Amino acid sequence: MRTNPISMGIFYLVMGLLFIYLAISTANASKGIFSFPTILLMLMATFDIGVAIRIFLFTRKVKKNNKQK
């Protein structure tokens, strides 16, 4: 079964937003933004949002190339 790149991009974007929410709630509950769990969650959110952006740009590039042919 093949997955749609747009749905994978949306999945990564939602996961990134979830990690941002968890990082904010962890920062409010713990010592602040420089605690290890907060930094780890923000790194994971950055990775997920970065992957989502790359997937969206790749999908747009593929569609643009298919229209030219």
For tokens 């749905």, name the residue. 7
pLDDT tens-digit series, residues 16-47: 999 999 999 999 887 788 889 999 999 999 99
What are the structural domain ranges in the chain? 5-62
Q: Taking all residues of the chain, what is their mean pLDDT, rounded to a whole number?
A: 93
Q: Are 46 and 12 in contact (CB under 8 A)?
A: no
CA dihedral angle for residue 17, residue 18, residue 22, residue 25, rounded to 10 degrees: 70
